[in-house]
Chain A
Amino acid sequence: MEKRVTFRGWMLPLLLIAPQVFISAVFFFYPAGQAVWQSLFIPDPFGLSTQFVGMGNFEYLFGDRHYRASFYTTALFSILVTLASMIPALFLAVLADRLIKGSGVYRTLLIWPYAVAPAVAGVLWLFMFNTRVGVVSWYLGQLGYDWNHVLNGSEAMGLVVVASAWGRISYNFLFFFAALQAVPRSVIEAAAIDGARFWRRFFTIVLPLLSPTTFFLLVVNVVYSFFETFGVIHTITSGGPQQATTILVYKVYSDGFVGQDLGSSSAQSVVLLLVVGLLTVLQFKFIEKRVHY
């Protein structure tokens, strides 16, 4: 028995997928195609004419020290954001899972930060850490630490990582919490009877059972840190100081719209497209194999 619905003609199925195809075409395929096309040209300084250069933009990019540095910055940034958003989320979810009373309130409060738009979150953190009027930097000053993310590249990185991860913790928390609730209670009890205490159970039973969720969140968070953190970086550091927080997607913006070098910017977005595509394929290929059950 064929369980799937089968259509006799091909007009109706085409009609049914048309809205999705249309949206993908307008918002993804067309701009992506434009980017690929533009990456093969350089415009003149006034934007009046363009000249075909073939792979010239790409050759120039990979010879550029700043562009290579941006790769390193992006890798560091995305690893830090992913860890900083997933580990606390898991920890909070484990605590919430153990709550008997008041877990509803706790859960609701933990979900709120997700409702804050990244750019707004960026501004919030910026105010707290502002070198002149920030509450946190004032307290740090009292403790004898001179916080200045405007001048110090590592501090700037730390700040954008925290600001990017903050709202993300809520999102990850939700998924981890749901996954924890789905772990059969009797399996945990069996492990308890087998002699495993809480943390032992957590690492040998619960964590492996969460691995499908963890893997999903890993992919989603890496993609998030590559693209959606633009707002946070733009509001807090604008990529500075000295490009210390210029991740690839920010460089696409600053070279293209601030520097007006559309050719190079397009070439960068093509590279970015390939990198994210490759990362996702790699994750699915190698990590998913080790994801149990």
Chain B
Amino acid sequence: MATVTLKDLRKSFGPDEVIHGIDMEIADGEFIVIVGPSGCGKSTLLRMVAGLETVTGGEVLIGGERANDKEPMDRDIAMVFQNYALYPHMTVAQNMGYGLKIAGLSKPEIATKVEAAAELLQLDGLLDRRPKQLSGGQRQRVAMGRAIVREPSVFLFDEPLSNLDAKLRVQMRLEIKELQSKLGVTALYVTHDQVEAMTMADRMIVMNAGVAEQIGTPMEVYETPQSLFAAQFIGSPAMNVLDARIEGGRVMLGDVAVAETGKRAGPVKLGLRPEHVAPDAEGPLAMEVLLAEPLGANTLLHGRLAGTEIAFTASLQGVHLASHGGEAMRFGVDPVDCHLFDPETGHRL
């Protein structure tokens, strides 16, 4: 069990800086998800904590101790890789016991710990198999088992579920979260999947182009996104972002006043989540529906704002059958659901 602290952490590959200074305090036992699109530096950040990448600037502290120059094995961490990185020539038991063997534990001790972990992960009958004889989900569990037998202070996960099929991913997501809270170990989890981020995280870091756009609990990020990027990345379907302006204390979309606001006058970006608009015959938003996607519990309506080419998506409860092409609908919106961003910096107003 340990805290992890990142202080102005930076990474450059040659002249290119890819991580531009990240600060974060991670509490003992916290589950932190690092989420962002591919190439945003999230894996690099994790690998710096693991000691697999050198730190160019700033500090990594694990359990209060500076870890910048420590070798991975001296950091008291365990990592689960995207491709599992199991040792192909070893059995499941040997895979899980490798770290313990190196630590110099006796054979009976190793066997006891491996068996306990195998039971926890429902791998009991598979200990003598080789990785290639296992299914994707089982390999994933072995990789988890290898991480937990060593009882590290910090778990690091690098997109561990991205090679599994959708159904298994949902199941493993729950299992990982459950296991982590049972063991009470601090965890850093990298993913590009915002659903994983929302469901698993105690707090998440939304990363974009080497910058932490927002650090907060999933609900904080969802309800009060601090930047346009965080607003669009978190939430599915993605938030609608419209060019608007503030005039006389009102948010104007074209000639229509959408909501009241106390913010300064001028151009703004208006963010509206598809699920936060409601059909309202008197509402300010007129939409031309081009396509309906019924998902069962709700329906996604895709189209554009009436008289413009601006794309707009709405998500309605229940089934809504759209007539083919060009149906006109009006929506109302609650002022608290209007997110306003500075059009130049992308920051929340």
Contacts and interface: CB of A to CB of B under 8 A. Distances in A.
B77 to A, nearest CB: 7
A44 interface: no
Contact of B79 (A190, A195, A205, A211): A190
B89 A208 contact: yes
If over half of B's interface residues share one DSSP class (helix, strand or loop), that class is named, otherwise mixed; here it is: loop
A214 to B, nearest CB: 13
A20 interface: no
B229 interface: no
Interface residues of A, number: 20
Contact of B102 (A190, A195, A208, A293): A195
Interface in A187-226: 187, 189-197, 200, 204-205, 208-209, 211
A25 to B, nearest CB: 41
Nearest to A190: B85
B297 interface: no
Interface string A101-123: 00000000000000000000000
Contact of B130 (A192, A211, A293): A293
B224 interface: no
B85 A187 contact: yes
Contacts of A191: 87, 98
A19 interface: no
A196 B99 CA distance: 8
A207 B327 CA distance: 67
Interface string B47-80: 0001110000000000000000001110001110
Contact of B88 (A192, A196, A209): A209
Given A187-B87, A205-B87, A293-B88, A193 B77 contact: yes
A193 B102 contact: no
A242 interface: no
B73 A196 contact: yes
A186 interface: yes
18 contacts: A184-B85, A186-B82, A186-B83, A187-B86, A192-B52, A192-B73, A193-B50, A193-B72, A193-B73, A194-B99, A194-B102, A195-B99, A196-B98, A197-B73, A209-B89, A292-B88, A292-B89, A293-B88
Interface of A: 184, 186-187, 189-197, 200, 204-205, 208-209, 211, 292-293
Given A193-B73, A194-B98, A197-B73, 15 more contacts: A186-B82, A186-B85, A187-B88, A189-B81, A190-B86, A193-B72, A193-B78, A195-B73, A195-B99, A195-B102, A196-B73, A196-B98, A204-B98, A292-B88, A293-B88
List of 9 A-B pairs having minimum Cβ-Cβ separation, nearest first: A292-B89, A194-B99, A186-B85, A190-B85, A195-B73, A195-B102, A208-B89, A293-B88, A186-B81
